[in-house]
Each structure stands twice: as structure tokens, then as C-alpha cells.
Amino acid sequence: MVKIIVQKFGGTSVADGEGRARAIERILAAKAEGYQPVVVVSAMGRKGAPYATDTLISLVKEINPEVNPRELDLLISCGEIISTVVMAHTLNSMGHPAIALTGGQAGIKTDANFGNAQILEVDPMPILRQVMEDKIVVVAGFQGIAPDGSITTLGRGGSDTTATALGAALQAEVVEIYTDVDGVMTVDPRVEPEAKILEEISYREVCEMAYQGAKVIHPRAVEVAMSRQVPIRIKNTFSDAKGTLISQSAAERVITGIAHLTGLSQVRVLSSRDGQQNWQLVRVKLFRVLAEKGISVDVISVLPDGVYFTVSQADGFKACQYLHEAGFACELVENCAKVSVIGAGMQGVPGVMAEIMETLYSAGIDILQTSDSDITISFLVPESQLKEAVHVLHRKLGW
């Protein structure tokens, strides 16, 4: 029986000859271990590089910022296609039979929501036919094909989603996500230099960390793998670190990691200016106003005499303006950050909130607002205190 492994290489891993050589080492090592590799690649490099997605976007936005979504998807799909052909050609030149496929050619069928398409179905047969001929299949990440044959792209983290969707459809042994970090870490090392690599983490914990700001893997990709119980390993293309295994069976700790989001504003709606007495009805109206204006809200606290919530910094002034026009009085607190402590084992454990609050209070951190769920406790703090908040929590939690 063929043992399939899906290996995804990000933009920094395929940006130059050195990176591609290391990626090919990983591919051939998997083959030597008895696996049949199916490789997913991102566009080469990041903004400024000739074939990076942002570079391609700038080609048309310099002409007119308003670009037809269908044509934009057609354009930005080229970055991954270029990477795919280069990697397949390199493998063939080394004597290892390989074939390059677009997302559509690989059987990835999506809806027609250009720019953020959802995968509807993955037909495994186009890849399996090539696998049975002992070819290394190299697939363009981040893309699929709509019902009318148009090329679509999958939005942020799309190549990760391609990899896990293929892993699920092909019943892969594992999906390896190669990047430029050694694995999932307890906290962003750019904020906390003492961050540690997690050897393993559960699907729902890494999903929550991603939703709360960690950027190692997109939550949609994890959800796809979780639905079919396909393990994921996050590894570094440029080191031999073991990486992080993401699976259902990973031990769930009381506290697994800390994530953060910056660029937030807090909106405080304290009273209504239009004379309405039914505060419950007023609160319903408040959120309807924001929804109709396309303003996304988070960290919501509904109190008897007010409502606090967060929006992106870019939406803060607009949110207050819209609410003012609808008869609400509101205050805006800008330059905020959300710090989230995540752990699937915290549910039912007394004292977690108390310990975190005491730690932040002792460090002089100004807690503007809190929210929690089954596996997450979040704090809104001034962005100027973000690093200190993360540092004291990381130190207190014992990593």
C-alpha cells in the first residue's frame, strides 16, 4: 500500500536556490523512507520579490486600485504556478520523475468566492494516477477551480489549507508544513525571546492560538485536518529541529501558549442619547448598526449600563461615528492589544483567572477588558504594555 506524505513549503522555503535545495532534500528524504511525497508550494518570496503575491498585485493596482476579483485571482495564482514548475523541473533534472499541477488540475474544486474561495470537494484521482506512476506530484498551493472553470484563490493561509485538504483527501500519513521557524512556540519569539518550542499540541489549541494572533498555521487548515484526523507537523526547512506535532491525541495542558493581536481600538458605549428607556433593545440596535456598516467586533462585554467591545484600529473612528449618528454616546480608546492565554486543560481548573490577573496587576499592567471561553482567557491592554504583559505571563507560567 502506498504511504502518502504531503509536504508544504512556504514562500521563504522556495524563494531562492538554497531554499529550494533544502526543500528537495526534505522531499527525497521522505521518499527514501518509503513515502510517496505530494508537494505543495507557495509563491516565491515575500513582497518585493519578483514573483511574490504582493508584487503581482501591485502590477495591476498601479493602473487602477479597483481590480475585478476574477482577474485578480487569475493573476495572483501565477506566483504558485511558477514555483510549482520550477520545483518539478528541478526534480526532473535530478532524475526524479515529477509533474507540476495547478490546484484545479490537482482536483481542488471550490465555490466562486474570488479572493477567499471555500473548498467544496477534492477529487483525489488526478494525483493518485500520477502517484501510481511513481511521480512526485508538485501542486500549486492557495488555489482551486470554480464550477465555471475560473481559477480561484483560497485567501490568507491558502497554501496551508491546500496541503491539509489534499492530506485529508489522499488519506496521507502526515502533512508536513515547512516554514522558517522551528515549530509552534509558546509565544511569539519576536515579543518574548524566551519562547519555547512545543513538541506537540492539539488541533483545537493550535486553532485557538491562530485565531488569537499566532501566525504559524492558518486555523482553516487545521480544521480541515481535524475533520479527518490527519496529523500535521510544523517544521523548519533550514534546520533539523523535530518541530511540533499537531494531532487529536496531543496531551492538553492547563496553559499551552500565549498569543496576541495588535492594532485594536476599544469602543465604550455608556448610554443612549435618543431617550430610549429599554436598554436591552438599545443594545440590539447598537450591534445592528455596526453589522449594517460592515464593522466586525470582538471582545464584547455587555453590562447593565454599557457595552464595551473592540474593533480594528482602522475601524475605530468610523464605528464611533456611525454609533453617534444612530443616537449613541461612545468613547474610543485607541492603540490597544489583546493578549490571550490558551490551554485546553484549563476548563474546570479553579484559580487560573486569579493567577493571571494577579500577575498582570503586580506588573502594573492596565487591564481594560477581559473575555474568556472554554480554553482561552483574553485581556485587553494598552499596546505600549504588550511586551511587558506577555513577558510576565510567560515567566509566571513556568516555561
Residues 266 and 228 in one domain: no
Number of structural domains the chain divides into:
2
Average pLDDT, the chain: 91
Mean of the pLDDT values across residues 172-184?
93
Q: Which of 200, 216, 249 is the last residue of a domain?
A: 249
C-alpha cell at 189: 519569539
- Residues 125-157 have pLDDT tens digits of 999 999 999 999 999 999 999 999 999 999 988
**Mind spelling out the 3-state secondary structure of 297-334?**
CEEEEEECCEEEEEEEHHHHHHHHHHHHHCCEEEEEEE
Residue 8 labelled as part of a binding site: yes
Q: Which of 249, 282, 310 is the last residue of a domain?
A: 249
| Predicted confidence band of residue 277 (pLDDT cuts 50, 70, 90) | low
Residue 179 labelled as part of a binding site: yes
Residues 319 and 208 in one domain: no
Residues 110 and 232 in one domain: yes
**pLDDT reported for residue 252:** 76
Residue 287 labelled as part of a binding site: no
Residue 216 labelled as part of a binding site: yes
Residues 241 and 333 in one domain: no
Sheet containing 306-312: order of strands: 298-303, 306-312, 257-272, 328-342, 376-382, 369-372
Residues 350 and 295 in one domain: yes
Residues 187 and 307 in one domain: no
Residues 243 and 275 in one domain: no
Residues 177 and 35 in one domain: yes
Mean of the pLDDT values across residues 215-243?
92
Mean of the pLDDT values across residues 13-21?
89
pLDDT cut 70: percent of the chain above it? 97
Residue showing cell 493581536: 261
Residue 215 labelled as part of a binding site: yes
Mean of the pLDDT values across residues 278-295?
83
- Residues 73-103 have pLDDT tens digits of 999 999 999 999 999 999 999 999 999 999 9
Contact assessment for residue 306 and residue 280, using Cβ atoms and an 8 Å cutoff? no
Predicted TM-score (pTM) above 0.75 = yes
Residue showing cell 486600485: 65
Q: Which of 249, 266, 281 is the last residue of a domain?
A: 249
- Backbone phi, then psi, for 231, in 5-degree steps? -70, 145
Residues 208 and 344 in one domain: no
Q: What is the CATH number of the domain that holds 202?
A: 3.40.1160.10
Residue 11 labelled as part of a binding site: yes
Does the pLDDT value for residue 273 go beyond 60?
no
| Predicted confidence band of residue 303 (pLDDT cuts 50, 70, 90) | confident
Residues 45 and 108 in one domain: yes
Residues 245 and 337 in one domain: no
- Residues 305-362 have pLDDT tens digits of 789 999 999 999 999 999 999 888 899 999 999 999 999 888 778 888 999 999 999 9
Nearest-angstrom CA–CA distance, 177 and 192: 23
**pLDDT reported for residue 349:** 82
Residues 243 and 283 in one domain: no
- Residues 102-114 have pLDDT tens digits of 999 999 999 999 9
C-alpha cell at 324: 453617534
The domain containing residue 227 runs over which residues?
A: 3-249
Q: What is the CATH number of the domain that holds 338?
A: 3.30.2130.10
Contacts with 210 (C-beta within 8 Å, 6 or more apart), sequence order: 216, 217, 218, 219, 222, 259
**pLDDT reported for residue 350:** 83
